[in-house]
Amino acid sequence: MRTALLETLRERVGPHVSAADDPSGRVRLQTLVLLRWIAITGQLLAILFVHFGLNFRLPLLPALAIVGVSALLNIVLFVVYPTAKRLSEIGAAGYLAFDLLQLGLLLFLTGGIDNPFALLILVPVTVSATILTLRSTVILGLVAFVLAVLLTLYHLPLPWSDQEAVAMPALYRWGNLMALVLGTLFIAAYAWQVAEEARRMSDALAATQLALAQEQQVSALGGLAAAAAHELGSPLGTIAVVVKELGRDTPADNPIAEDLALLQSQVERCREILARLSRRPSANADTEAFSDLGIANLIETAAQPWRRANIDFAVELKGSGTAPNLPRRPEIIHGLSNLLQNAMEFARSRVTVEVDWDERQIRLLILDDGPGLNVDILSALGEPYVTSRPDSGGMGLGVFIAMNLLRRSGASVAFANRSGGGTRVAVSWPRPAAK
């Protein structure tokens, strides 16, 4: 389900979208810089309080130098990059890895795993679990684990007034290590799961908003079609009367008689189209629309209005066994009809529809031998008002309507240019959508 939502988003906004699998660009540098300033302030106060307030001797200069390097890096990042800078996956992981190493050096100087502040090792891992991928979080978790083991084995003494009084036994140190590792695993796993659920909800919300926007566009086009049918009825009636009068007054042997006859047939066709746009569906029509139809017959029905004498049209069934049925729904017939109309108009001599199926899918390939599509047009197909024939007066809505109608029936649609010339349109339905 989530994969389908992400695929829908990729189709609309580009291939970089993946909320959880690739959160590149979702982590603001300013957020991590602010977290580091909080850590730097806490480290500085702890060092000064322990050294001067509790009078425990620390390696003060090395500790302050480590904190100073972290602060200097923050200042450089603030000056070099803009406030709205967003980090990539690798950049954010490297940022958190640096924080882990900086904290490890401080702990090495101040008692290692015996230091109560060793608990803070889990913070960068937890932050990673909330904003980065599982892979980055696992890598940072491994870094934290190695760092904790090294701090258990190698570290300077814990600052104290009496060094002998705090000589912790080895078993206690390894117990601290196990507690730290298990705590890091639990908290990071919990944070990642919660963040993952939030990302899923975000993806689902974005896909829902996208679907609603598409529905609004299709509904607006439906209203526009009804208004156009109403507004065009009167001028089309006038044209029909004038053409009929001209045809009656023109002798049959006149050179323009044939043109007038063609014009009259096209006027009648326009009137039929307007009648269909303004016709209300009846109960009988609904019953017919949802009846099943063999896929070859359905394709023939969709292609019938656009058949041309100079274009060879063929349907090739390539699946094994009995050809499947598809529900005779208006969305499917009208969507395929629009795609076949484009293929017929662009083809030089042949349009072929190859039908293949298996247990999982039904696949249609609409192939023509025309000039193919411009690369710029190909990348924008499916958007409203995009047309490859700007001089024809078309509005570029045919493909947009076809794709949305077919998607409403559960189909996916993809366009590509054929290697030998021409266009290739792939339409596929999941098999449960068919019978």
How confident is the model at residue 165, as a pLDDT? 52
Query: Do 90 and 189 share a domain, yes or no?
Result: yes
Distance between first and last Cα of the chain: 22
What is the domain range of residue 147? 2-213
- Residues with Cβ within 8 Å of 328's Cβ and at least 6 positions away in sequence, in order, are 288, 289, 290, 291, 292, 293, 298
Measured CA to CA, the distance from residue 11 to residue 5 in angstroms comes to: 10
How confident is the model at residue 397, as a pLDDT? 66
pLDDT band at 193 (very low <50, low <70, confident <90, very high): confident
Helix (H, G, I), strand (E, B) or coil at 267: helix
Contact indicator for 424, 416 with CB cutoff of 8 Å? yes
Query: Do 328 and 316 share a domain, yes or no?
Result: yes
How confident is the model at residue 205, as a pLDDT? 65
Query: Do 208 and 222 share a domain, yes or no?
Result: no
Contact indicator for 257, 287 with CB cutoff of 8 Å? no
- Residues with Cβ within 8 Å of 248's Cβ and at least 6 positions away in sequence, in order, are none
Contact indicator for 383, 213 with CB cutoff of 8 Å? no
> Domain containing 244 — which CATH number?
1.10.287
Q: CA torsion, points 374, 380, 382, 388, in degrees to nearest 10? A: -30
* DSSP code of residue 425: E
- Residue where a domain stops, chosen among 213, 238, 253: 213
Query: Do 322 and 400 share a domain, yes or no?
Result: yes
How confident is the model at residue 278, as a pLDDT? 62
Type of residue at 5: L
- Tell me whether residue 264 is exposed, middle or buried, using C-beta atoms within 10 angstroms of its C-beta: 0 to 12, 13 to 18, 19 or more: middle
Query: Do 364 and 227 share a domain, yes or no?
Result: no
Contact indicator for 320, 282 with CB cutoff of 8 Å? no
Total of domains in the chain: 3
Reply yes or no on whether the pLDDT at 377 is more than 60.
yes
Query: Do 108 and 202 share a domain, yes or no?
Result: yes
55-64, 197-206, 342-351, 411-420: the lowest-pLDDT one? 197-206
* DSSP code of residue 159: P
Query: Do 317 and 415 share a domain, yes or no?
Result: yes
* DSSP code of residue 33: H
Contact indicator for 162, 227 with CB cutoff of 8 Å? no
How confident is the model at residue 65, as a pLDDT? 93
Q: Which residue(s) pair with 314 in the sheet?
A: 352
Query: Do 169 and 272 share a domain, yes or no?
Result: no
How confident is the model over 102-144, as pLDDT tens digits?
999 999 998 888 888 888 888 899 888 888 888 888 999 999 9
Query: Do 16 and 126 share a domain, yes or no?
Result: yes
How confident is the model at residue 215, as a pLDDT? 61
User: Residue 14 corresponds to which tokens in the numbers above?
Assistant: 């580009």
Query: Do 296 and 313 share a domain, yes or no?
Result: yes
Query: Do 271 and 305 share a domain, yes or no?
Result: no
What H or E segment, with its residue span, contains residue 256? none
How confident is the model at residue 246, as a pLDDT? 83
User: Residue 175 corresponds to which tokens in the numbers above?
Assistant: 């117990």
Q: Which residue(s) pair with 292 in the sheet?
A: 327
Contact indicator for 118, 152 with CB cutoff of 8 Å? no
Query: Do 332 and 221 share a domain, yes or no?
Result: no
Could you tell me if residue 320 is left (phi over 0), alpha (psi between -120 and 50 degrees) or otherwise beta?
beta
10-19, 77-86, 180-189, 381-390: the lowest-pLDDT one? 10-19
pLDDT band at 308 (very low <50, low <70, confident <90, very high): confident
Reply yes or no on whether the pLDDT at 372 is more than 90.
no
Q: Compute the average pLDDT of residues 189-217.
A: 70
- Tell me whether residue 260 is exposed, middle or buried, using C-beta atoms within 10 angstroms of its C-beta: 0 to 12, 13 to 18, 19 or more: middle
Reply yes or no on whether the pLDDT at 347 is more than 60.
yes
Mean pLDDT of all residues belonging to the chain: 78
User: Residue 239 corresponds to which tokens in the numbers above?
Assistant: 């044209």
pTM, 2 dp: 0.47
122-131 and 29-48 are packed helices; what angle lies between their axes, rounded to 10 degrees?
170
Q: What percent of the chain has pLDDT over 70?
A: 76
Is 274 or 204 the better-scoring residue by pLDDT? 274
Q: How far is CA 158 from the centre of its chain?
A: 52
Q: Which residue(s) pair with 293 in the sheet?
A: 326
Measured CA to CA, the distance from residue 277 to residue 68 in angstroms comes to: 73
How confident is the model over 14-43, as pLDDT tens digits?
433 343 344 445 678 888 888 889 989 998
